[in-house]
Amino acid sequence: MAKKRRKKKKQPSRALVLWLTVLAAILFTALLGLILYSCVARQDADVPAVDATEMTEELAPLNERDPEDFRFEDGFLRYPGAETGIDVSTHQGLIDWEQVRDAGITFAIIRAGYRGSTEGRLYEDELFWDNLNGAKAAGLKVGVYFFSQAISVEEAAEEAEYVLNLLNGEPLELPVYYDWEQIAGTSRINYPGTLPLTECSVAFCEAVREQGYTPGVYFNREYGYAYLDFVRLRNYALWLAEYGDNPTFRYRYDCLQYTDAGRIPGIETTVDMDLIFQ
């Protein structure tokens, strides 16, 4: 009598085996991740949260002035405890500094010189000494600035040396400022983003500091936010140009240029107006 043949058990297909293997791997990975996350979360619970604002203040101090505390009075922008001043160059012509003082101006920042925006030569401002001596004789506090067109750290250091040679030890109550600005259509550099502006500022300021003067940097909001590293500039005087009634620049500044259209007795042209904060 013939024996009955046993039926073979069906084996799972290779595709099914592969799918189950992948699924198991996914579940194992997820479980392992959950375990690790729980461990990290438990550790983090014992670490106090870090305030991002405090970190920013530690690296680059923030501006703590309330914009609402600025007010216009008698044609000048005022802030509690701040002094009112101007910055000038040969563009203002001959100035009657006694009239300027009598109008309530207590300080002046005077252009010492500039670099040509096309050929790059260095020049003394034609009225530098007239303005410096006149402002001092009228009893104003005085600082100076150099209008830079440097395209390298070496040129910025050269500009500092030029200013220091001009001053030749002349005492100043206010800083010596580095002022780099783009001149549309004629600038030696068409885009400030290609310039090592922070490095140039540091080179200028350190040379000034070595000779016993207080170094500073002039900038507007655009340059301040886009091209300058305020961590590296934190130890210098900072002169902000922001026009209007209520400046809102985020980082610390010590001097504010708030208009280029001021009118002061003793000056025939319009003039930049400034505040210096205590």
**pLDDT tens column, 190-234:** 788 889 999 999 999 999 999 999 999 999 999 999 999 999 999
Please report the pLDDT score of residue 59 as a whole number: 82
Which tops the pLDDT comparison, 185 or 69?
69
> Distance between CA atoms of 107 and 87, rounded to whole angstroms?
9
Domain boundaries, the chain: 16-44, 63-276
Please report the pLDDT score of residue 29 as a whole number: 52
Which H/E stretch holds residue 54? helix 52-59
State both tokens at 24: 């198991």
**Would you say the pTM of this structure is higher than 0.85?**
no
Q: For the segment 1-22, what is each residue's pLDDT rounded down to a tens digit? A: 444 444 444 555 665 556 656 5
Give 157's contacts (C-beta < 8 A, 6+ positions apart): 203, 204, 207
- pLDDT higher than 80, residue 161: yes
> Distance between CA atoms of 263 and 271, rounded to whole angstroms?
6
Please report the pLDDT score of residue 42 as a whole number: 34
Average pLDDT value for residue range 274-278: 94
Please report the pLDDT score of residue 186 as a whole number: 74
CATH class of 63-276: alpha beta
Side-chain half-sphere exposure of 260, counting CA atoms within 13 A? 6
Closest to 200 in 3D by CA, of 235, 146, 151: 151
Q: How confident is the model at residue 253 (pLDDT cuts 50, 70, 90)?
A: very high
Average pLDDT value for residue range 82-111: 98
Which tops the pLDDT comparison, 120 or 27?
120
- Mean of all residue pLDDT scores within the chain: 86
- pLDDT higher than 90, residue 78: yes
For residues 185-211, one letter each, b for 16 or more C-beta atoms within 10 angstroms of the residue's C-beta and e for the rest, the string is eebbbeebeebebbebbbbbbebbeee
Q: What is the DSSP string of 92-115?
A: G-S--HHHHHHTT--EEEEEEEEE
